[in-house]
């Protein structure tokens, strides 16, 4: 999922499953390279007994394959219908910073994360990109710097801008000190090469891959590097890496604003929404205005110490995006939904904004840090300084008057301003790519704009864009006809007709 680092405390995921396993070593991956098979081991308790775990060792720097090594974590849930088994399906849920092993472990424990037939006919392999969750080393940063008094990501003066830049520069330096040099090599190109190493280690020929959100960027990058090695590929919730930061942020802001509008329409007429019968967008804007004028107390947070004790309008604008991801929620993974957003708005109006409060990060290995480390290698702005950021803030207000440019793309623009690692993987024009893939996107996705899916489809002209005429982030996470269509492709290899729309 592409959730950003300032998600509401109610949307925090459970801790990643710890993996213990044998290690497999690789040189630079090539289609013909021989590779030792992964030595799968039972995952440690309390994992399901059917779940197997491993670490895969790769070069920290793929330009120096004989140099320092790191490893990434994987797990495997074997197909249940062994006689009808198709092969291995590698899965990544996005982020960046998302853990594929956690999603597959959740499937093993609770079910419901994958279609029934896909679950029965594929070995599901969860993929933790380098630095993430079970990978070694996991990115470590000083959580006390993160938890220190808040600074606005929307500064209104040069002095506030310098305070913001200083805080995140110090955070970045702590990541370098606590993680070591691996934090310089978490770019998506390196992750795609790791995925090729995994394909070689699995030893089944071509890759079957299901990537959600940021996982689509991994998949597209892989298909550019190794087009001959793709068998079946689903890219759900398209994230392209060919737009400069300002355009990228503008697209996301428009998508977030449009999805908030869909929520407002639903909320105004639904008995499931606490604001039924009201002008929901007006209520949202008034709440943001009041919180900007005087932060709203967060009573639950004051008792639990799990989140900040007051909430600003900026906090509300960032946090609402997380509630919009899944209209019905995603309870297996701890995500709230639209009903909970209505409840949160009502509660904040009544004086307790805890549901919008930024969480206090307790672990140095929190997913927010690995996500930021990737974002600052891939997606930082090609401009800096207060005047340039002020112009970006003004643009956000024009294209998204209610959310005012808040979103994950903007966080990278602001937080990566003085990040202390090189900008190693800036956006660039997509290389010609003839891979046949299934690209999927909802029309109203608050995080990955439909325009990105259209652009990805032009960059991969042999692929098919499947459109879900609905709202929410990604489509495989929403059980229904779109997931069924994705499953049919994964099971048969036959792409749906070009231009397919599904309600």
Return the HEC string of 35-98: CCCCCCEECCCCCCCCCEEEEEEEECCCCCCCCCEEEEEEEEECCCCHHHCCEEEEEECCCCCC
Provide φ and ψ at 483, rounded to 5°. Answer: -60, -40
Tell me which of 335, 356, 377 is where a domain ends.
356
Give dist(CA 39, CA 23) in Å, integer: 7
Instruction: Check whether residue 277 and residue 223 sit in a common domain.
Output: no
Which of 86, 58, 63, 60 lies closest to 73, judged by CA?
A: 58
Instruction: Check whether residue 434 and residue 474 sit in a common domain.
Output: yes
pLDDT of residue 46: 83
Instruction: Check whether residue 130 and residue 205 sit in a common domain.
Output: yes
Q: With a threshold of 0.85, does the pTM exceed it?
A: yes
Give dist(CA 221, CA 466) in Å, integer: 20
Provide φ and ψ at 168, rounded to 5°. Answer: -80, -25
pLDDT of residue 37: 84
> Long-range pairs for 477-484 at CB < 8 Å and ≥24 separation?
477/1, 477/212, 477/326, 477/330, 478/326, 478/327, 478/328, 479/112, 482/440, 483/115, 484/115
Instruction: Check whether residue 202 and residue 102 sit in a common domain.
Output: yes
Residue 38 falls inside a structural domain:
no
Residue 238 falls inside a structural domain:
yes
Burial class from Cβ neighbours inside 10 Å (0-12, 13-18, 19+) for residue 24 reads: buried
- Residue that has been written with the tokens 């409060």 in this structure: 357
What are the pLDDT tens digits along the chain (503 aa)?
Answer: 665 555 554 444 333 333 333 344 444 444 335 567 899 999 998 888 999 999 999 999 999 999 999 999 999 999 999 999 999 999 999 999 999 999 999 999 999 999 999 999 999 999 999 999 999 999 999 999 999 999 999 999 999 999 999 999 999 999 999 999 999 999 999 999 999 999 999 999 999 999 999 999 999 999 999 999 999 999 999 999 999 999 999 999 999 999 999 999 999 999 999 999 999 999 999 999 999 999 999 999 999 999 999 999 999 999 999 999 999 999 999 999 999 999 999 999 999 999 999 999 999 999 999 999 999 999 999 899 999 999 999 999 999 999 999 999 999 999 999 999 999 999 999 988 999 999 999 999 999 999 999 999 999 999 999 999 999 999 999 999 999 999 999 999 999 999 999 98
Q: What sign results for the dihedral spanned by CA atoms 273, 274, 279, 280?
A: negative
Treating both helix axes as pointing N-terminal to C-terminal, what angle do 408-415 and 245-269 enclose, rounded to 10 degrees?
140
Residue 444 falls inside a structural domain:
yes
Instruction: Check whether residue 203 and residue 345 sit in a common domain.
Output: no
Give dist(CA 390, CA 31) in Å, integer: 47
Give dist(CA 200, CA 15) in Å, integer: 29
Instruction: Check whether residue 119 and residue 225 sit in a common domain.
Output: yes
Instruction: Check whether residue 221 and residue 96 sit in a common domain.
Output: yes
- Residue that has been written with the tokens 């950021």 in this structure: 389
Instruction: Check whether residue 336 and residue 198 sit in a common domain.
Output: no
Tell me which of 312, 341, 356 is where a domain ends.
356
Residue 423, phi-psi category: left (phi > 0), alpha (psi -120 to 50), beta (remainder): beta
Residue 254 falls inside a structural domain:
no
Output DSSP code: residue 309: S
Per the structure, the count of domains in the chain is: 2
Residue 472 falls inside a structural domain:
yes
Give dist(CA 407, CA 256) in Å, integer: 8
Structural contact between residues 60 and 95, judged by C-beta atoms closer than 8 angstroms: no
pLDDT of residue 432: 82
- Its domain, for residue 343, covers 273-356
Which of 195, 177, 181 lies closest to 70, judged by CA?
A: 181
Give dist(CA 209, CA 16) in Å, integer: 21
Structural contact between residues 262 and 239, judged by C-beta atoms closer than 8 angstroms: no
How far is the CA of 471 from the CAs of 155, 261, 283, in angstroms?
31, 11, 21
Q: How many CB atoms within 10 Å of residue 354?
A: 26
Residue 387 falls inside a structural domain:
no
Burial class from Cβ neighbours inside 10 Å (0-12, 13-18, 19+) for residue 172 reads: buried
pLDDT of residue 35: 63
Tell me which of 339, 356, 373 is where a domain ends.
356
Give dist(CA 332, CA 328) in Å, integer: 12
Instruction: Check whether residue 222 and residue 118 sit in a common domain.
Output: yes
Residue 401 falls inside a structural domain:
no
440: CATH: 3.40.50.1820
H/E segment holding residue 317: helix 313-324
Instruction: Check whether residue 92 and residue 214 sit in a common domain.
Output: yes
Residue 46 falls inside a structural domain:
no
| Residues sharing a CB contact under 8 Å with residue 200, sequence separation 6 or more, in sequence order | 26, 29, 33, 34, 35
Instruction: Check whether residue 294 and residue 194 sit in a common domain.
Output: no
Instruction: Check whether residue 455 and residue 332 sit in a common domain.
Output: no
């Amino acid at each position: 999922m592409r959730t950003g680092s300032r998600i509401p405390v109610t949307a925090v995921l459970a801790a990643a499953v710890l993996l213990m396993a044998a290690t497999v070593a690789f040189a630079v991956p090539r289609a013909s390279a021989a590779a030792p098979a992964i030595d799968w081991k039972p995952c440690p308790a309390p994992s399901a007994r059917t779940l197997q775990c491993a670490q895969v060792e790769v070069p920290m720097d793929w330009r120096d394959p004989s140099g320092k090594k790191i490893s990434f974590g994987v797990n495997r849930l074997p197909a249940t219908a062994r006689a009808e088994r198709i092969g291995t399906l590698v899965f990544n849920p996005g982020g960046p910073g998302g853990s594929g092993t956690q999603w597959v472990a959740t499937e093993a424990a609770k079910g419901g994360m994958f279609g029934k037939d896909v679950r029965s006919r594929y070995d599901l392999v969860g993929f933790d990109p380098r630095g993430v969750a079970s990978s070694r080393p996991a990115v470590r940063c000083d959580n006390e710097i993160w938890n220190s008094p808040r600074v606005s990501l929307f500064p209104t003066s040069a002095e506030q801008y310098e305070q913001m830049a200083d805080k995140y520069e110090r955070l970045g330096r702590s990541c370098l000190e606590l993680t070591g040099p691996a934090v310089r090599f978490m770019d998506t190109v390196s992750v795609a090469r790791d995925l090729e190493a995994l394909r070689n280690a699995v030893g089944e020929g071509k890759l079957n891959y299901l990537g959600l959100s940021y996982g689509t960027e991994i998949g597209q990058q892989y298909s550019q590097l190794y087009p001959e090695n793709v068998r079946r590929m689903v890219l759900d919730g398209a994230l392209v890496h060919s737009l400069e930061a300002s355009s990228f942020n503008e697209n996301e802001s428009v998508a977030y604003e449009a999805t908030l509008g869909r929520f407002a329409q639903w909320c105004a007429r639904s008995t499931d929404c606490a604001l039924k019968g009201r002008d929901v967008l007006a209520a949202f804007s008034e709440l943001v205005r009041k919180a900007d004028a005087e932060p709203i107390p967060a009573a639950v947070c004051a008792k639990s110490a799990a989140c900040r004790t007051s909430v600003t309008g900026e906090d509300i604008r960032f946090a609402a995006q997380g509630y919009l991801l899944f209209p019905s929620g995603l309870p297996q993974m701890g995500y709230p939904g639209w009903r909970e957003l209505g409840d949160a708005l009502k509660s904040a109006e009544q004086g307790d904004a805890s549901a919008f409060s930024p969480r206090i990060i307790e672990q140095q290995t929190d997913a927010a840090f690995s996500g930021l480390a990737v974002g600052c290698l891939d997606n930082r702005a090609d401009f800096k300084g207060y005047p340039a950021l002020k112009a970006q803030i003004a643009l956000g207000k024009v294209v998204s008057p209610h959310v005012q440019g808040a979103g994950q793309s903007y966080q990278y623009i602001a937080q990566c301003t003085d990040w202390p690692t090189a900008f190693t993987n800036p956006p660039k024009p997509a290389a010609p790519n003839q891979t046949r893939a299934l690209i999927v996107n909802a029309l109203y996705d608050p995080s990955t704009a439909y325009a990105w899916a259209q652009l990805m489809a032009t960059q991969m002209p042999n692929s098919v864009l499947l459109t879900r005429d609905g709202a929410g982030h990604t489509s495989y996470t929403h059980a229904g006809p779109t997931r069924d269509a994705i499953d049919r492709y994964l099971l048969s290899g036959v792409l749906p007709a070009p231009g397919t729309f599904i309600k």
